């Protein structure tokens, strides 16, 4: 199981993980420069790590996430989330066109909600097989 996740993560990294994580890192750097948006930068870094190496991990909503996370996610969508979600969508299209890329295209589509609402989420390890939630 761990070997399978390692293989999937390496293929993911080569096909789209590096570029998508780079997008999240750019968003984080912009947020850090603007100072008041540092919490957005921290969330962006957390999701960048997840996007870089997603198999064997999942995201869950934090139980203490409340109205602040909701308001922050609305602001995030307006300034950064929409273009990261668009990047996931655009990246998934060529992946769906190849046989080996179909699972990665699907994984890219599954990352769109996370790219739109990263605040109030934690990345945790999972023991479930690929594709099972």
Residues 14-50 pLDDT 10s:
989 999 999 999 999 999 999 899 999 999 999 999 9
Query: Which two structure tokens, joined as six digits, stand for 64?
Result: 């203490």
Residue 37 and residue 60: Cα distance in Å, rounded?
22
Average pLDDT over every residue of 102-113: 92
Q: What is the mean pLDDT of the chain?
A: 89
The pTM score is: 0.86
Specify whether the CB–CB gap between 44 and 80 falls below 8 A: yes
Name every residue whose Cβ is closer than 8 Å to that of residue 84 and which is 6 or more positions away in sequence.
20, 23, 24, 27, 115, 116
- What pLDDT shows up at residue 52? 93
Confidence band for 73, pLDDT divided at 50, 70 and 90: very high
Residue 133 and residue 128: Cα distance in Å, rounded?
7
- b or e along 34-72 (b: 16 or more beta carbons within 10 Å of the residue's beta carbon)? eeebeebbebbbbbbebbbbbbbebbeeeeebeeebeeb
- Which residues are bridge partners to 61 per DSSP? 121
- Inter-CA distances, 77 with 68, 74, 84, Å: 14, 5, 9
**Interstrand relation of 57-61 and 121-125 (parallel, antiparallel or unpaired):** antiparallel
Confidence band for 83, pLDDT divided at 50, 70 and 90: very high
Q: Any idea how long the chain is? A: 133
């Amino acid at each position: 199981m761990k070997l399978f996740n390692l293989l999937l993560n390496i293929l993911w990294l080569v096909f789209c993980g590096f570029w998508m994580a780079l997008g999240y890192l750019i968003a984080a750097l912009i947020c850090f420069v603007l100072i008041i948006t540092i919490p957005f930068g921290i969330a962006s870094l957390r999701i960048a790590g997840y996007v870089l190496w997603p198999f064997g991990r999942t995201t869950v909503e934090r139980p203490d996430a409340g109205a602040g996370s909701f308001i922050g996610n609305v602001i995030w969508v307006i300034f950064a989330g929409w273009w990261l979600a668009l990047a996931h969508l655009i990246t998934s299209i060529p992946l769906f066109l190849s046989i080996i890329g179909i699972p990665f295209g699907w994984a890219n589509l599954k990352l769109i909600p996370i790219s739109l609402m990263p605040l109030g989420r934690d990345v945790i390890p999972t023991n479930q097989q690929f594709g099972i939630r």
